[in-house]
């Protein structure tokens, strides 16, 4: 079983839709949770960073962590064509420097 | 300011040859990470440097893979006797060094082994 599971999609939505992206994980020691956005032929860039459980909002983006279910989500409101990219979740334990990434979900927002 | 740079951007090599991939981190970043991204596999951790030392080499897939970092700056990932399964995008990231510090990624080197 992989440490982090993420549906690869692809996911296609009309402009303005609410997008929900999700990851599940198996290691209860994970405390730090991240979402990265990766455009084609580019490196990933950090979108959201959450410690432990709860919600975090940044503009049109909301990250949720449910540690009891080992489930994290990223919501994108009022999606834009410029949001079209691959979204990767990542997580880590409090100690050590290894980060575990999901496979990424490919999102296309259609104008 | 300058971000993380990697070279070459693309590398095509023949099976059995050695390749060197270079990463120039952001100035002042003490932590440096190498990852491999294969289609459908996500990012696979390879190695982590803090300064010039590599406390965690656990992700290197075989002894054909090695990496070094000199002067706390530039890092080189070397793959010896390349195999077709080594074909992937190799990504480098750097950060200020704390566990919670943001990792900034380079654009990657796309390696194709024929």
Residue A23 vs residue B70, higher pLDDT: A23
| Residue among B42, B102, B107 minimizing CB distance to A46 | B102
| Residue among B35, B41, B107 minimizing CB distance to A103 | B41
- Is B106 in Cβ contact with A98 (below 8 Å)? no
Task: List strands edge to edge, sheet with A19-25.
Answer: A4-6, A19-25, A71-76, A61-66, A54-58
CA angle (B7, B88, B95) in 5-degree steps: 55
- Pairing label, strands B75-79, B65-69: antiparallel
Out of A72-76, B38-42, B80-84, which region has the weakest mean confidence (pLDDT)? B38-42
Torsion angle of alpha carbons A106, B23, A3, A46, nearest 10°?
-50
pLDDT digits (tens, 9 = 90+) for B32-81: 999 999 987 789 999 999 988 888 788 899 999 999 998 889 999 999 99
- Is B42 in Cβ contact with A46 (below 8 Å)? no
Q: Are A87 and A104 in contact (CB under 8 A)?
A: yes
Out of A5-19, B5-19, B47-61, which region has the weakest mean confidence (pLDDT)? B47-61
Tell me what pLDDT residue B1 has: 55
DSSP state letters, B43-109: EEEEEEEETTEEEE-TT--STTEEEEE-TTS-EEEEE-S--GGG-EEEEEEEESSSTTSPPEE---E
Question: DSSP code of A81?
Answer: G
- Mean pLDDT (whole number) for A14-33: 95
Residue A14 vs residue B42, higher pLDDT: A14
Mean pLDDT of chain A: 93
Tell me what pLDDT residue B101 has: 85
| Residue among A43, A88, A99 minimizing CB distance to B107 | A43
- Mean pLDDT (whole number) for A31-50: 93
- A53: number of Cβ within 10 Å: 13
Q: Which residue of B has its CA nearest to A97?
A: B99
Phi/psi at B48 (5° precision): -130, 135
Determine contact: B105 vs chain A, CB below 8 A: yes
- Is A104 in Cβ contact with B42 (below 8 Å)? yes
- Is B33 in Cβ contact with A88 (below 8 Å)? no
| Residue among B4, B56, B102 minimizing CB distance to A98 | B56
- Which residues on chain B are in Cβ contact (under 8 Å) with A101? 35, 42-45
- Mean pLDDT (whole number) for B90-99: 90
Tell me what pLDDT residue B56 has: 79
Tell me what pLDDT residue A8 has: 84
Among A105, A95, A88, CA closest to A32: A95
Tell me what pLDDT residue A1 has: 66
What are the structure tokens assigned to B7, written together? 């070279």
- Is B45 in Cβ contact with A41 (below 8 Å)? no
Q: Are B21 and B106 in contact (CB under 8 A)?
A: no
- Which residues on chain A are in Cβ contact (under 8 Å) with B56? 96-98
Residues 6+ away with beta carbon under 8 Å from A52: A31, A65, A67
Determine contact: B30 vs chain A, CB below 8 A: no
- Is B105 in Cβ contact with A97 (below 8 Å)? no
């Amino acid at each position: 079983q992989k440490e982090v599971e993420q549906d690869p999609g692809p996911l296609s939505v009309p402009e303005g839709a609410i997008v929900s992206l999700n990851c599940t994980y198996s290691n209860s020691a994970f405390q730090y949770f991240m979402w990265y956005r990766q455009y084609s032929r580019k490196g990933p860039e950090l979108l959201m960073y959450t410690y432990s459980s709860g919600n975090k909002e940044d503009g049109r983006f909301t990250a949720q962590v449910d540690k009891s279910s080992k489930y994290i989500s990223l919501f994108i409101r009022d999606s834009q064509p410029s949001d079209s990219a691959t979204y990767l979740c990542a997580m880590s334990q409090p100690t050590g420097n290894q980060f575990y990434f999901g496979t990424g979900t490919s999102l296309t927002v259609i104008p | 300011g300058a971000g993380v740079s990697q070279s070459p951007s693309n590398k095509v090599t023949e099976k059995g040859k050695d390749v060197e991939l270079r990463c120039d981190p952001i100035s002042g970043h003490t932590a440096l990470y190498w990852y491999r991204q294969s289609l459908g596999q996500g990012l696979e951790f390879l190695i982590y440097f803090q300064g010039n030392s590599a406390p965690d080499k656990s992700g290197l897939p075989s002894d054909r893979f090695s990496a070094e970092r000199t002067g706390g700056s530039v890092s080189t990932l070397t793959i010896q006797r390349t195999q077709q399964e080594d074909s992937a995008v190799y990504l480098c990231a750097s950060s200020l060094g704390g566990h919670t510090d943001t990792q900034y990624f380079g654009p990657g080197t796309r390696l194709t082994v024929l």
